[in-house]
Structure 1
Amino acid sequence: MTFDPASYDFTQPSGPAPIRASTVLPAKRENIELHTADGHKLVGELALPESGPITATLITLHPLPTHGGFMDSHVYRKASYRLPALAGVAVLRFNTRGTASARGTSAGSFEEGVGERLDVEAAVRFAVERQLPNRWLVGWSFGTELALMYGAVEPVASQVQGAVLLSPPLHRATDEHLRLWAAAGKPLTVLVPEHDDYLQPAAAAERFRLVPQARVVGVAGAKHLWVGEKYASRVLNEIVDDVTEAGSGPHGLPQEWNGPVATAAT
Structure 2
Amino acid sequence: MTFDPASYEFTQAQGPTPIRASTVLPARRENIELQTEDGHTLVGELALPESGPVKATLITLHPLPTHGGFMDSHVYRKASYRLPALAGIAVLRFNTRGTASPRGTSSGAFEEGLGERHDVEAAVRFAVERGLPNRWLVGWSFGTELALMYGAVEPVAGQIEGAVLLSPPLHRATDKHLQLWAESGKPLTVLVPEHDDFLQPAEAAGRFSLVPQARVVGVAGAKHLWVGEKYAARVLNDIVAQVSPDRAGVELPREWDGPTATAGA
TM-score, normalised to structure 2, is 0.99
2:264 is aligned with what amino acid?
A: A
1:51 is aligned with what amino acid?
A: S
Q: Deviations over 1:202-255 (max 9, x none)?
A: 0000000000000000000000000000000000000000000322543x1000
In structure 1, C-alpha distance between the alignment counterparts of 2:193 and 2:134, rounded to whole Å: 27
Correspondence list, 1:179-258, <5 A:
179-247=179-247, 249-250=249-250, 252-258=251-257
Correspondence list, 1:130-149, <5 A:
130-149=130-149
In structure 2, C-alpha distance between the alignment counterparts of 1:179 and 1:54, rounded to whole Å: 31
In structure 2, C-alpha distance between the alignment counterparts of 1:70 and 1:111, rounded to whole Å: 15
Residue 260 of structure 1 aligns with which residue? 259
Any idea what SS the aligned residue of 1:196 has? coil
Any idea what SS the aligned residue of 2:222 has? strand
CA RMSD across the alignment: 0.6
Correspondence list, 1:104-143, <5 A:
104-143=104-143
| Runs of 4+ with >2 A deviation | none
Any idea what SS the aligned residue of 1:72 has? coil
Correspondence list, 1:52-201, <5 A:
52-201=52-201
1:265 is aligned with what amino acid?
A: G
In structure 1, C-alpha distance between the alignment counterparts of 2:171 and 2:181, rounded to whole Å: 16
In structure 1, C-alpha distance between the alignment counterparts of 2:249 and 2:177, rounded to whole Å: 33
1:198 is aligned with what amino acid?
A: F
Residue 28 of structure 2 aligns with which residue? 28
1:253 is aligned with what amino acid?
A: L
Q: Deviations over 1:73-100 (max 9, x none)?
A: 0000000000000000000000000000
Any idea what SS the aligned residue of 1:91 has? strand
Q: Deviations over 1:84-125 (max 9, x none)?
A: 000000000000000000000000000000000000000000
Percent same amino acid among aligned pairs?
83
In structure 2, C-alpha distance between the alignment counterparts of 1:26 and 1:178, rounded to whole Å: 38
Q: Which runs of 5+ in 1 are unaligned?
A: none
| Structure 2 contact 166–191 (Cα < 8 Å) conserved | yes
| Structure 2 contact 242–248 (Cα < 8 Å) conserved | no
| Structure 2 contact 178–211 (Cα < 8 Å) conserved | yes
Indicate whether 1:16 and 2:42 are aligned.
Answer: no
| Structure 1 contact 24–264 (Cα < 8 Å) conserved | yes
Q: Which runs of 5+ in 2 are unaligned?
A: none
In structure 2, C-alpha distance between the alignment counterparts of 1:73 and 1:190, rounded to whole Å: 18
C-alpha distance 248-86 of structure 1, shift in aligned 2 (>3 A): farther
In structure 2, C-alpha distance between the alignment counterparts of 1:76 and 1:156, rounded to whole Å: 21
| Structure 1 contact 87–248 (Cα < 8 Å) conserved | no
In structure 1, C-alpha distance between the alignment counterparts of 2:247 and 2:94, rounded to whole Å: 25
| Structure 1 residue 151, shift from structure 2 partner | 0.1
Any idea what SS the aligned residue of 2:11 has? coil
Any idea what SS the aligned residue of 2:127 has? helix
